[in-house]
A and B are shown apart, each in its own frame.
Chain A
Amino acid sequence: MLAVSQLGSWLPIALLFLVAAGLALALASVSALVGPRRARGVHDESFECGSEAIGSARERFGVKFYVVALLFIVFDVEGVFLYPWAVLFRELAWPGLAAMGFFVATLAIGLVYVWKKGALDWEH
């Protein structure tokens, strides 16, 4: 168990933890207690308010959405690396440029790969 002397500095984190857990619990309980419970009919459907579920959830369906979203996030996040480099552009000088060049080249290879693979081709 944590030593008392250490406890002080970790109190905020402990509080955060408690608040997070409490909030999650409270919200879940409230919805469970207050919400009407009719465990029949449409409520048992996977998508209560969407299209009707047909067949097993294991069935294959269009993976295109995910691919595009995934690729967007990947390149988006990698792009963020350019900002700190730009801020320190002068200090890092040539080695920095070389490193970033390598980085961008790698990204470019990735882009070429997904492009040629047809991952960006929506109609395909």
Chain B
Amino acid sequence: MIALAPYLLWIPLLPLLGALVLGTAGRRFGRSDVNVVACGTVAGALVLSLVAFVSVWHGRTLVWVLPWFSAGRIQVTAGLTADRLTVVLLLVVTGISLLIHVYSTGYMAGDPGYARFFSFLNLFVGAMAILVLADNLVLLFIGWEGVGLCSYLLIGFWYDDDAKATAGRKAFIVNRVGDFGFGLAVFGLLALYGSANFGALLRAATASPPSALLTHGIFAGLTIQGALTIIGLFFLLGVTGKSAQIPLYVWLPDAMAGPTPVSALIHAATMVTAGVYLICRISFLFALAPAAMLAVSLVGGITALFAALIAFAQNDIKKVLAYSTISQLGYMVMATGVGAFWAAILHLVTHACFKALLFLGSGSVIHGLHGEQDMRKMGGLRKRLPQTAFAFGVATVAITGVLPLSGFFSKDAILGLTLETGNRLYPWAPWTLYLLGSLAALGTAFYMWRLWAMTFEGAPRTEAAGAAHEAPPSMAWVDHALAFLSIVTLGLGLPLAGGAPLERWLAPVFSPAVHLLPGLILPRGEGVPWATYGVALALAWGGLAVAWALYVGAGRALPARFAGAFPGLYRLVANKFYIDELYASLIGRPLWGGSRLFWRLLDAGLVDTVLVRGTAATAQAFSRRVLKPFQDGDAQRYAAVMALSAFALLFWVLR
């Protein structure tokens, strides 16, 4: 049942209004006023999201169409819609945002840009709500760009530091590459189906068979499946940008330059999962393009393992968590690629809780150590920061899956479903993906327990670590709330008879995709095979054991000896496989050089030397005496170019 729900508009509008107020008048506000505006508007959005959730629970699909403007035949509407998938995302976004707003009131206290920070943070919540609520790709793209802009502004929030401003710029440029893909994909869909509205796309996708041959348009000569494969690959490019997958993941580790609450909210819990949400939202289109789905799953799987490997050798606590985020996002993307959309969303939800908690916990650590981020200068913090250590411990257990908390079920749902419902067109794919995912799980357990051991176990390695102090109550309180969420969200993924609760909740959203995939993906409703749980548990404990042995127990000298024994390999991993350097030399410099080159060619060089002087050279001896050249060589050259161009136009029309 479809119900009109004007209040949907207020979910993005409340935080946006808050951002406006804080951005214009915030500097005159006291801290408590800022807190009221920032947290109040987000809390309002959360309440409205809960209302929407209850309404959807009662079987409604909520819509609200805003006629933005219409002129002649052009009608641009901004439609909002909330179905079962949307409300899940809405609750995650507004809920985690509220918690992190509260945390930030403690973390950012005393920062001169207090109001500005909350203004950006509110802007982000509004943009993210638009992204989630949009009923068409154009509006979604506006939200997509909006969150990108906020991310960019917040990464460079402490702009006094040049490196941080550079990190913001890097995130921006890398995301532009992804947006190329997104933009082309939207255009492709417009050319193929004539619409960017999800409802219209679904009707169009189900109306004609994927093998139908297209006769005109830019896809002439391809089947619908072929066209959708191309479009899907462009969407994948967009996803690799926003959700930090190979090859565009490089911006996310640098994005840790932003304040820690930003890392938790934007670069772990919400924005970076936008790509996963996008694929789920248009799952019915991917379902028609199995090759694109395979590419999606492979990108996800390889990213999951690759990022986990890099995390082994990082010593900055936030960098470890950043690579961990990339790795976990890889899981989600891999899940969408094998058609386990619900598992991707499940992992999105659980990851939002425990990864936000990990970041906030690391923030409390950094706060307690007065800005120290190097794990080699920590140690023994379990005794100094008991509250933080407890919450952090819960999150570490959740992500590594040594105990069946939320992360255990969501990650294992993905691993199991790669085997169970894999892409049948490619027989090798299920095992390959399972192997990638399982190795990444082993890696996850290792690097996370390594982080735990280096930070919280043993004896303090510096004076600052010995004198660390616990975070203020607003921060500790949020840590505990998230720890609670990291535990209870396990309920969403419990392998019950008839499917996990979230699977059943989301089934109507993904049923079109399942029906469009004959013989490809068939969730059997009985959940995940039990054997994989055993394997997962063994891997988690294996990783824990190795990390414990190497960083707490008897083998403490081994990592250093390993690094000494294989200096090349260690350097390779510690330097993140030199991917940044590779990109700089392969793409960055040539692009810049290209622009300079064009400038030289078009406006300074080629025309001057080759065309004008070249042709002029023959006549030069003659013209030097007969035609005195102009004093101003430039104007002469410009005139020559104009004349040549005019001749070119003449030739064009008269040819």
Contacts and interface: CB of A to CB of B under 8 A. Distances in A.
B502 to A, nearest CB: 74
A97 to B, nearest CB: 45
Contacts of A69: none
A97 B622 CA distance: 57
Contact of B625 (A1, A32, A57): A32
Contact of B622 (A1, A32, A37, A57): A32
A87 interface: no
B631 A32 contact: no
B654 A32 contact: no
A57 B631 CA distance: 10
Contacts of B625: 32, 37
B586 interface: no
Interface in B623-646: 625-626, 631
A37 B631 CA distance: 22
Nearest to A39: B625
A1 B631 contact: no
B654 A28 contact: no
Main secondary structure of the interface of B (DSSP, over half): helix
A32 B622 CA distance: 8
Nearest to A24: B626
Interface residues of A, number: 6
A21 to B, nearest CB: 13
Contacts of A57: 631
A28 B626 contact: yes
Contact of B654 (A1, A31, A37): A1
Contacts of B654: 1
Nearest to A37: B625
Nearest to A28: B626
Nearest to B626: A28
A1 B650 CA distance: 10
A109 B457 CA distance: 93
Interface string A64-97: 0000000000000000000000000000000000
Contacts of A32: 622, 625-626
A57 B622 CA distance: 25
A81 to B, nearest CB: 33
B32 to A, nearest CB: 66
Interface in B365-381: none
A32 B625 CA distance: 7
Most B Cβ at <10 Å: residue of A28, A31, A57: A28
Contacts of B622: 32
A30 to B, nearest CB: 11
Contacts of A1: 654
Interface string A1-24: 100000000000000000000000
A105 B631 CA distance: 41
Nearest to A25: B626
Interface in B520-551: none
Interface in B599-655: 622, 625-626, 631, 654
A57 B632 CA distance: 12
A37 B624 CA distance: 13
Interface in A30-61: 31-32, 37, 57
A57 B628 CA distance: 15
A31 B625 CA distance: 10
B171 to A, nearest CB: 50
Contacts of A37: 625
B601 to A, nearest CB: 31
Nearest to A57: B631
A1 B625 CA distance: 34
A37 B622 CA distance: 13
A31 B627 CA distance: 12
A57 to B, nearest CB: 7
Interface of B: 622, 625-626, 631, 654
The 8 closest A-B pairs by CB, nearest first: A28-B626, A32-B625, A32-B626, A1-B654, A57-B631, A32-B622, A37-B625, A31-B626
8 contacts: A1-B654, A28-B626, A31-B626, A32-B622, A32-B625, A32-B626, A37-B625, A57-B631
Given A28-B626, A57-B631, 6 more contacts: A1-B654, A31-B626, A32-B622, A32-B625, A32-B626, A37-B625
